[in-house]
Amino acid sequence: MKKVAFILLLAFGTALVLGTVALAEDKFPQGCASCHKVEGDKDYSLSAEIQKIKGHPAIKANDVKVCMGCHKEGKFAFKKVLHPIHLNSQVFGPKLGGNCLSCHAMSPEGEMSVKGL
Ligand code: HEC
Ligand code: HEC
Ligand code: HEC
Integer Cα distance of 50 and 115 in angstroms = 20
The residues spanned by each domain of the chain are 2-114
Distance between Cα 20 and ligand 3 center (Å)? 26
Closest ligand 1 atom to residue 88 Cα is 18
Distance between Cα 37 and ligand 3 center (Å)? 20
Q: How far is CA 58 from CA 44, 54, 90, in A?
A: 16, 11, 28
For residue 52, give the DSSP letter. T
Per-residue pLDDT tens over the stretch 31-83: 999 999 999 999 999 999 999 999 999 999 999 999 999 999 999 999 999 99
Task: Give the DSSP letter string of 63-110.
Answer: -HHHHHHHHSSSTT-HHHHHHHHHHT-TTTTTTT---HHHHEEE-TTS
Other Cβ atoms less than 10 A from the Cβ of 80: the count is: 12
Binning pLDDT at 50, 70 and 90, where does residue 25 land?
confident
Closest ligand 1 atom to residue 78 Cα is 35
Distance between Cα 86 and ligand 1 center (Å)? 6
Over range 11-16, report the average pLDDT: 52
